[in-house]
Amino acid sequence: MIGRLNHVAIAVPDIQAATAVYREQLGAAVSEAVEQPDHGVTTVFVELPNTKIELLEPLGEDSPIANYLAKNPVGGIHHICYEVPDIRAARDTLVAAGARVLGDGEPKIGAHGKPVLFLHPKDFCGTLTELEEA
């Protein structure tokens, strides 16, 4: 069902400082910061030859990333994202197998302009998992 690893998301308290680490210290190609108000975050993508790193900074006090950073003030890996060919078919298969989809269960448009869903971490080895339609 799952395809390639689309990205690993890292929550950060300061996206500009994190961007500088990847650009200046690691020599990576880094996108501009983009606010994602529907998801309560600002994102930056670090392009790698085989995948991406998504840096996430809270956008407002109600951001789900704000809660994560309250528990992990220096940041850390927040979630991983896999590509699937058909997000609704993947959701239906996973739900039938007992997995829990977060939110209302309907795909939302993610940072890449494609439908995404998040799966409960307790159902996936303690890891918040995002599915993105390829």
* The token pair that represents 53 in the structure block: 């790193």
pLDDT in tens, 87-97: 999 999 999 99
pLDDT at 134: 94
In the annotation, is 24 catalytic?
Answer: no
Tokens 């069902």 sit at which residue?
1
CATH number of residue 67's parent domain: 3.10.180.10
pTM across the whole model: 0.94
How confident is residue 9, by pLDDT bands cut at 50, 70 and 90? Answer: very high
- Which residue in 57, 130, 132, 133 is the catalytic one? 130
pLDDT in tens, 48-80: 999 999 999 999 888 989 999 999 999 999 999
pLDDT at 110: 93
Domain count, the chain: 1
Q: How far apart are the first and last CA of the chain?
A: 12
Q: Which of 30-34, 51-55, 76-80, 110-114 has the lowest average pLDDT?
A: 110-114
High-pLDDT (> 90) share of the chain, %: 95
Distance CA 69, CA 45 (A): 19
* The token pair that represents 19 in the structure block: 């961007």
* Domain housing 117: 5-133
Phi and psi at residue 18, to the nearest 5°: -65, -40
pLDDT at 18: 98
Q: Which residues contact 119 (CB under 8 A, 6 or more apart)?
A: 94, 99, 100, 101, 102, 128, 129, 130, 131
